[in-house]
A and B are shown apart, each in its own frame.
Chain A
Amino acid sequence: MKRRQLFATVTGLMTLASLPMTSALAQDAYPSEPIHITVVWPAGGGHDLVGRLIGHELSEIMDTAVVVDNVTGAGGSTGIRHIAEADPDGYTIGVMGLHAVSQSFMNPAAPKLDGLDPIAYISDEPGAIEVSVDMGIDTLDDYIAAMKSDPMSLMNGNDPQGGNSFIFASVIPDALGVNMMKLPYPGHAPTVTALLTGEVQTATLPIPPILEHAKAGKVKVLGVAAEQRHPQLPDVPTFKEQGYDIVVNDFVMLVAPVGIPQDVRAKLEEGLLKAIKSAGFTSAAAENGMVLRPGGADMAAEELAKQVELVYPILEQADLVAEELKRK
């Protein structure tokens, strides 16, 4: 049994080495080369996990090697540019989220969204508000009451301007009618650390990075900004159930450069949808707290347009839109 593991490793390594070589020889139908999935964040993060899990399934479905490239830097813009400027041949795709929408308005040098072709929609990442259990706050009403009596009593940890938990931290307190002290952290992992060590008392992170801590009872999720409850946290009510109409979410979708030939694009879309709906991916993704809502290219484009309309006013209100990118 354990011997078999060793054997599996060796054969795994050998296929890893040989796959690209053999497949390069057959130059017929798509895909005949390795497909590269670009992840714009460093290895180990949420997008990286999606890229690797999808890549694993896709390589079996499409019968070709799939590699994940972490092209990082400049708040995700470097990676998005890498996708947008790649040859539109179906061999470079990428994982994208809300960050690309924010960056396209905040950073004049960031690639525009019309250079990207959404191929498949993977999941909604609803916003939420979490509070450290040490605070003794059990309900949303307790939180609002505490914040109204002293807005400085509970500090919130979130991304720097433009990140998803910053967007959540702009939308949620507005709707609740409270003033929130927003302390920026460079990324979700440092925010979780700050919440656990008590530097901040609340956070507006999406569910995946906080799921295990919520299950362990270290962190209390007060509300989820979605239409339905979170599948991994069925006891946590939505904001709507608690009388506040807040629905805000990040998203995870797969995009490609514009201009892929129609037949290749159709094949890619079909393969990706199969990978997203595969048992292997759905179970791993669900366990990590993702809210899967698989969809094809049309739905992805629609969702992207919706997000643009949602995010722009928030950024504009916070005075974050770059001068030359302002809508007239």
Chain B
Amino acid sequence: MLLESFFTVLADFATSPAMLGLVGLGAILGLVLGAIPGISSTMALAILMPVTFTMEPGVAILFLISVFMSSVYGGSISAILMKLPGTPASIFTQIDGYPMAQSGRAGHALNYALVASTVGGMVGLALLVVLAPVLADFATNFRSPEFAAVALFGIVMLSFASNGSTLVASVVGFVGILLGMVGFDALTDAQRMTMNQPMLQSGLNLIPVIIGLFGLGEILQNLVRFGDAPTARPAIGKVMLPIAELARRWKVMLRGSVIGTFIGAIPAAGSAVAVSIAYAQERRLSKEPETFGTGHPDGLVAPEAANSASVGGSLIPLIALGVPGDTITAVLMGALMVHGLTPGPLLFANDPTFVSWIYVSVLLALVATLVLGLGMIRAAVLVTRIPPQLMYVFIAVFCVIGAFAIRNDMNDVYVMIAFGVVGFVFSRIGLPVTPLAFGLILGPILEENLRRSLMISQGSWKIFIDRPISATLLGVCVLLVALPLITALLHRLQGSLAGKKSENIPKNYPGE
């Protein structure tokens, strides 16, 4: 029944030039706003919300969903070309995307990101249409102990997320968790590490930290010895990517998409958790993990797919329960409320056409983003041709404005600069930066839910193993930690056995 109304609405839309025009307009605005460093998807939606005041609710939703879906990919453009992730979800896009752009494969990187993002979005949508009730059930089984277990799972995964020593990566992850605690505790009125200063009370917002660590940190490194040798500008190279290349990575895209959808469906987990786990997972499975971070397409494709797929996932709690899955769906819900529609079980149960309407909007927005995004790539890669002396200054200015704009707070500019220095120092003494982002994303989720679980259980830690989902997740965590140790042990054992055998071989053929 749902599928039927889905196709009716789709046919209605696809034959209406005005609607398609509106989707196109929304997609262009989303792409441009998303690509400008310092404007996140949430902001793009909030900025354009007043424009929809005069529209009918359904039309407004169509327009806003187009803006939202295309801004998700738009954010990857600045991450890839300028190492400026504008949203938490594109932190992992730049880790491999930026080195690709720097080695003259900017067009390829954008292609990968766009296609992965489209595939992820489609898979997320398909799972949303087909599995919404199942996923909603899955999502409602998630309570505080499960959230804590997912966060812990992510933290365990972080040790797979960067090159070099696992010990060092984990310690940097703990630094990230500590940084996430600055400000007010989410459960009591306790201040932590604030010295009663308003600036620290606001806490360290993820975006200024990320812009500083990656965007500004990169500039500061490039300024060392600047001018000593002529800075080479990366060539543009081939812009379009052979389809075979893309098709070869279907497994990576699919894995990323499924992870994205499921994690996106868990209320309050959101896209940042989805992409971090997708990235770490892909690196763990890869045959060449050491090339991650130097421009490996898989490291770009997996988080992009997960990011886009998590949009489909995050609509599940909204549609099934009437509660927003993350901050972006919260803004979308706010937009619905402006139009006098409060999403809740009633709205969606009484009006299946409206649900189809949302699904079709997502689908059309994805197609529009793909078409317009492909058209934009040629223009976008020109950014890499801007001479460095201009580029660095532009990026620095965007860092300042972007850090300010996220909460309209000047203190966040200081935070951004401080983390620029941290990023610089880290790279000088050879510490990985990525685990810091992991800790900052997952730490607050872990702490809040761990403590709430213990309040529920009156202090008994058994609550985590009494519940099947959290017990399973914890089991997987233990396995993940233990497995490398066991395999290393086995390898050593096998190695010593094989060593003995190979010593024996010549003896078997003494006649040679």
Contacts and interface: CB of A to CB of B under 8 A. Distances in A.
Contact of A5 (B22, B142, B332, B337): B22
B201 A109 contact: yes
A78 B188 contact: no
A218 B142 CA distance: 18
15 contacts: A2-B18, A2-B19, A3-B17, A5-B18, A5-B22, A44-B334, A48-B334, A70-B46, A82-B408, A184-B186, A197-B140, A212-B342, A213-B322, A215-B344, A215-B346
A243 to B, nearest CB: 31
Interface string B127-151: 0000000000000111110000000
A151 interface: no
A16 B330 CA distance: 23
Interface in A38-86: 42-45, 48-49, 52-53, 55-56, 68-75, 77-78, 81-82
A223 interface: no
Interface in B8-53: 16-19, 21-22, 25, 29, 42-43, 45-46, 49-53
Interface residues of B, number: 73
B409 interface: yes
A56 B50 contact: yes
A8 B54 contact: yes
Interface of B: 16-19, 21-22, 25, 29, 42-43, 45-46, 49-56, 59, 63, 140-144, 183-189, 191, 196-198, 201-203, 205, 267-268, 317, 321-324, 327, 330-334, 337-338, 340, 342-347, 349, 407-409, 411, 448, 452, 455-456
A1 to B, nearest CB: 8
A32 interface: no
A69 B189 contact: no
Contact of A43 (B16, B25, B45, B345): B45
A155 B456 contact: yes
Contact of A196 (B52, B321, B452): B321
Given A73-B407, A186-B448, A199-B143, A193 B344 contact: no
A52 B340 CA distance: 13
Interface in A65-118: 68-75, 77-78, 81-82, 106-109
A216 interface: yes
Given A44-B330, A212-B342, A71 B189 contact: no
Interface of A: 2-3, 5-6, 8-10, 12-13, 16, 42-45, 48-49, 52-53, 55-56, 68-75, 77-78, 81-82, 106-109, 155, 160-162, 183-186, 189-190, 192-194, 196-199, 211-213, 215-216, 218, 283-284, 287-288, 320
Nearest to A208: B342
Contacts of A44: 324, 327, 330-334
Contact of A194 (B45, B59, B143, B188): B143
Name which of A43, A49, A162, A198 has the most chain B CB atoms within 10 A of its CB: A43
A56 B184 CA distance: 33
Name which of B330, B346, B408 has the most chain A CB atoms within 10 A of its CB: B408
Given A16-B50, A77-B198, A78-B411, 5 more contacts: A45-B330, A49-B337, A74-B201, A75-B184, A183-B456
Given A48-B334, A193-B321, A42 B327 contact: yes
